[in-house]
A and B are shown apart, each in its own frame.
Chain A
């Protein structure tokens, strides 16, 4: 399975944008990029996912590099509720889709 590399932790101030990076240099052409976040004792919460093009939803934006070897999750205005562990995950398509290999993730701290 292709792996991802994320910083262990990042900090941000409330109401400022946050850019969470993810490297996935061994990504294949059919691998999807997923982002989830998780609070202690809760299940992972879906944030966003994409294949090749940048994606936007009400929670965040996903910027995918042209060579697809890296991506960035963008939270446009951080709030205290955005403090969580953020996971960047790759999955294949077809029968491999949904078989997510979670890494250690990035712990995001948001300061008031």
Chain B
């Protein structure tokens, strides 16, 4: 069990560029979540997947954001035409859920984005 892995850990990009973050969940975890955290605030839910299906998206996820989980394993979060307000830590989490809820949700170390 290597935990939830996120890459890259840090990304500095110019405004208007596109960036992509990758998340590798814990093996065999069927649920994968993305959160965003800005300085001084708690994490905010963005979206989540059950296997390859994206089941819910927050209103925080503007049309410049897209998340995928093509084979139900790793996931990518892409931000197009980045803005300075996108500067934040992007967190990925995963859990194993079946007919009943209640399993532990594990977070990764996060990917820091700085838009200059």
Q: How far is the CB of B13 from chain A (nearest CB, A)?
A: 19
Residue of A nearest to B45 (CB): A99
- Residues on the B chain within 8 Å of A44, using CB: 43, 91, 107
Residue of A nearest to B112 (CB): A41
Q: Are B102 and A99 in contact (CB under 8 A)?
A: no
Q: Chain A interface mostly helix, strand, loop or mixed?
A: loop
Q: Are B106 and A97 in contact (CB under 8 A)?
A: no
Q: Chain B interface mostly helix, strand, loop or mixed?
A: strand
Please report the total number of A residues contacting B with Cβ < 8 Å.
24
Take A99-B45, A101-B45, A102-B42 as given contacts and tell me if A46 and B105 are in contact as well, using a CB distance cutoff of 8 Å: yes
Take A42-B109, A44-B91, A98-B95 as given contacts and tell me if A32 and B101 are in contact as well, using a CB distance cutoff of 8 Å: yes
Q: Which of B42, B91, B97, B108 contacts A97 (CB 8 A)?
A: B97
